[in-house]
Structure 1
Amino acid sequence: MKISRIFLCASVSLVAAPGLYAADAIVAAEPEPLEYVRICDAFGLQYFYIPGTDTCLKLSGRVRTQGEWYDAYNPDSDFGTLWRNRAELGIDTATDTEYGPLKTNTVLRWQTKDTTLQEKLLFANISLAGITVGKLDSQFISYTDYAGNVANDDVIYDGPYELNQLTYMYDAGNGFTAVVSLEDSNSSDNATYFGDPDPAATHDWVTSKADHYMPDVVAGAGYKADVWELKFVGGYDSIVEEGAIKARIDVAFGDFKVFLMGGWNTDGDKLNNYAGTNLASGACPVDRADCGWGDWALWTGFTEPISDKLSANVQIAYTDSKIFAGTANVQWRPVEHLLVQPEISYTNWDAANTDQVAGIMRFERKF
């Protein structure tokens, strides 16, 4: 019996042992599923999904450094060499909705002139179903694709930049497009150009913006075919109560591209937000309007590829007020996303009886 009890106790111990040791066992936790960044190709290149969301994100930007010799916009400039640096960061988002893509566009800019650092919220806007609200360049210049492929493309003023707006863009999908925009000229960098810098001034181009409450209006339409594109756009300055109209045609002969753009001012004796001037007030004789368009302005230019990495660009502009501006450059891209651009400009202001020769040497890396 004693032996039987010993055997029974040993058996019970063996059966109970696994339960006793189980309390001390270490169980590894299940690993969390790893979500890699996924490419989002529904909205174009460079977009990727923000992990855990259905929103796509694109990061882009540029770094630019350039030397400048004199100033094509200012006959009074007397500096021998001025060096500028600029950095921009672009942040774009897009999400698909039942009304189409919901997008945002933000561009931040930092730049130096001599030792001064300038910071700016360049663009900040939201778009959905063809409607865009927020800050971007005026549709008067962006809808017509600005001017030529040169740095000094707006020595002859072609419209305001960086302003708040409410815009509707229509695209028929067959080459026809149209745009209507309500724009706030007070939010533009050009806002002081056509305001009242001197309350005692009596020139007819001076108009006070103190009681500004109505937006400016821009409207345009265009058509694009295989090798040519034609666009018209008009802008109305609600303060000056005048405006301007531009028409532009682009034609491609193979790789050779040429454009012609003309503008008409509703009152050649006045400046307005859409037919103004980039020349400082003190540089014009008697009346600053002498350095605007007058009744009309013309721009033309071309791009000629020389090789896969090299191209030449020329732009010429002239106004009814006898301002001539010519610019030529060479754009060299030794590797992808890197630009080296020497440029030379000549400007003549007949009313001010003065001229200027200016040069730029630009280096720019985009990403």
Structure 2
Amino acid sequence: MNIRSLLLGSAAALAAVSGAQAADAIVAAEPEPLEYVRICDAYGPGYFFIPGTETCLKVGGRVRTEGEWYDAYNANSHIGTLWHTRAELSVDTASDTEYGPLKTNTVIRWDWNDGNTTSTKLLWANISLGGFLVGKADSQYNYFMGYAGNVINDDVIYDGPKELNQLTYKYDAGNGFTAVISLEDSNSSSDTSSYGGAWRTGKGDHYAPDVVLGAGYKTGAWTLRVIGGYDSVVEEGAIKARIDADFGAFKAFLMGGWNTNGDKLNKYAGSYLNSNRAACPTNGADCGWGDWAFWTGASYQLTPKLQANAQVAYTDSKIFAATANVAWRPVKDLLIEPEVSYTNWDAADADQWAGVLRFERKF
């Protein structure tokens, strides 16, 4: 064998090995193009498209911690300092349909209080399409009217129910006129009452819902709203009317309520005062409005980061409540809010000073 034959043989062997290795080689697949999260600005800030869908998603919430000194809702409050911490997570979805926006709103709340007491609740969970809403939310008797002031203890004088199941339709004419009708869940599981029997809060074998009906009109700086609620268990109800003025840095409102029967409490003219009836020792109905109630309040933007708020309320049953606070936002989404409240119960010949210092971060 000469050198030339040896070289040719070696080259052939190397070619065979290289061919075999090439046959066994793994060819890497080209990466799929990245799908970045797209912003969805059709429903307001914070929404983005769920990848691969046309549904928009928004995730938010808040973390709050606050110290409370005495209790504005309790004529016999002897609590020195109570510390309370809360976290909320909200998830909203929205998509466009031929019938208008299809939306969901879900809010979960966790609370912790002194004494290691904790609680979790599904605060809101509802579906809306166009003007219709079904599921759990605050009563339209409160929500449509804008609640009762820009203070923490805004409902020492009860202004309506919260957190209940409902079937609601809202109408917006686009010219300042709005209206709402809502069928709301009545407590139809068992016979129950509170405030010494003055408020029948539940009735077994009861099938009728509660009904709320309201309308409003806004023009320029002024807004007028009227709403009524009927408690099908008590077979009584209440009406509220409210006027708002918005002059930019200064905002104010006046709201009045009328109870169809001042000798009874009902869901729309009830009470949030402590259930041991310290505020109404001889007559449970004195914990409510009596025949009527009113609320008035104002807010003034002192600086871009500092706002002053106040609310005063009074009832035919001679309950007086006043609250004032300052809301300081040193940086975006952070709130520091000290508040002081005073309540006087004529029927119990008692009064109470109370305070709150709140820290809250929204996201």
Deviation at 1:19, TM superposition (A): 6.5
Deviation at 1:285, TM superposition (A): 2.1
Equivalent in 245, 253, 268 of residue 251 of structure 1:
245
Equivalent in 217, 235, 238 of residue 241 of structure 1:
235
Q: Is the 8 A contact 1:90 1:108 kept in 2?
A: yes
Deviation at 1:319, TM superposition (A): 0.7
Q: Is 1:354 matched up with 2:350?
A: yes
Q: Is 1:149 matched up with 2:142?
A: no
In structure 2, do the counterparts of structure 1 residues 137 and 16 end up closer, same or farther at CA, with 3 Å as the change threshold? same
CA distance in 2, matches of 1:63, 1:333: 15
CA distance in 2, matches of 1:58, 1:317: 37
Q: Is the 8 A contact 1:281 1:288 kept in 2?
A: no
Equivalent in 293, 313, 324 of residue 297 of structure 1:
293
In structure 2, do the counterparts of structure 1 residues 30 and 354 end up closer, same or farther at CA, with 3 Å as the change threshold? same
- 4+ residue segments displaced more than 4 Å: 12-22, 203-208
The residue number in structure 2 matching 1:49 is 49
Secondary structure of 1:263's counterpart equals: strand
1:109-163 deviation per Cα after TM superposition (whole angstroms, max 9, x unaligned): 0011111011110001000021100000000000001010000000000000100
Secondary structure of 1:335's counterpart equals: coil
1:239-277 deviation per Cα after TM superposition (whole angstroms, max 9, x unaligned): 111100001111022310000001011111111100011
Deviation at 1:16, TM superposition (A): 9.3
**After the TM superposition, which residues 160-179 of structure 1 pair with which residues of structure 2 at under 5 Å, given as runs?**
160-179=161-180
| Letter in structure 2 aligned against 1:273 | K
Secondary structure of 2:303's counterpart equals: coil
Structure 1: tracts of 5 or more residues without a match: 1-8
CA distance in 2, matches of 1:337, 1:285: 43
CA distance in 2, matches of 1:105, 1:361: 29
Deviation at 1:182, TM superposition (A): 0.4
The residue number in structure 1 matching 2:120 is 119
Secondary structure of 2:187's counterpart equals: helix
The residue number in structure 2 matching 1:231 is 225
CA distance in 1, matches of 2:57, 2:202: 43
Aligned length: 355
CA distance in 1, matches of 2:118, 2:348: 32
Q: Is the 8 A contact 2:198 2:284 kept in 1?
A: no
CA distance in 2, matches of 1:80, 1:165: 39
**After the TM superposition, which residues 320-339 of structure 1 pair with which residues of structure 2 at under 5 Å, given as runs?**
320-339=316-335
In structure 2, do the counterparts of structure 1 residues 147 and 208 end up closer, same or farther at CA, with 3 Å as the change threshold? closer
TM-score by length of 2: 0.91
CA distance in 2, matches of 1:207, 1:58: 36
Q: Is 1:310 matched up with 2:306?
A: yes
Structure 2: tracts of 5 or more residues without a match: 1-8
